[in-house]
Amino acid sequence: MLKNNKTKPQNPYARAKWLALGAIAVVATLLNMILRDWIASLHLAVVIVFTLITLGLAARTLIVAIANRSRRSGEDPGGPGDGPGGPDDPGPGPIDLELTDPLRHQDDFGLVA
């Protein structure tokens, strides 16, 4: 009759939301010990946690971009490598959708080009 409900949500966005809310609660509690003001501590905790999340996502994006760039050795036009994109390259081929949208987010909105 009743399903065995797991305590962990199955949605990754829900997990990230609960993790962020937990981090805010912990940071707010620690800040309240110092500031002795719950409202200021809560506001500052929200700013701190979401700033850290934003910086973390930006750093991850930068690292992935650098890794992808170094993986394409010799693909720059006129570059010293023998790979595609050199002076004798006829031009770009068809774009693979798996490379441009690996998580298939555009499928959700019917925007696949």
Sequence letter at residue 36? R
The answer to whether residue 98 is domain-embedded is: yes
Q: Is the pLDDT of residue 86 over 60?
A: no
Give the residue numbers spanning the domain of 83: 13-109
Looking at the domain assignment, is residue 1 inside a domain?
Answer: no
Residue 5 lies in a domain: no
Could you tell me if residue 45 is inside a domain? yes
Q: Tell whether 2 is covered by a domain.
A: no
Residue at 83 is within a domain: yes
pTM score > 0.75 for this model? no
Q: Has residue 56 been placed in a domain?
A: yes
Element of type H or E holding 22: helix 12-35
> How far apart (Å, rounded) are the C-alpha atoms in residues 67 and 12?
25
Whether residue 6 lies inside any domain: the answer is no
pLDDT band at 46 (very low <50, low <70, confident <90, very high): very high
| Res 110: pLDDT | 58
Q: Which two tokens stand for residue 29?
A: 């509690």
Tokens of 30: 């620690």
Domain tally for the chain?
A: 1
Q: Give the contacts of 106 (CB within 8 A, at least 6 positions apart).
A: 112, 113
Q: How far apart are CA 41 and CA 29, in angstroms?
A: 7
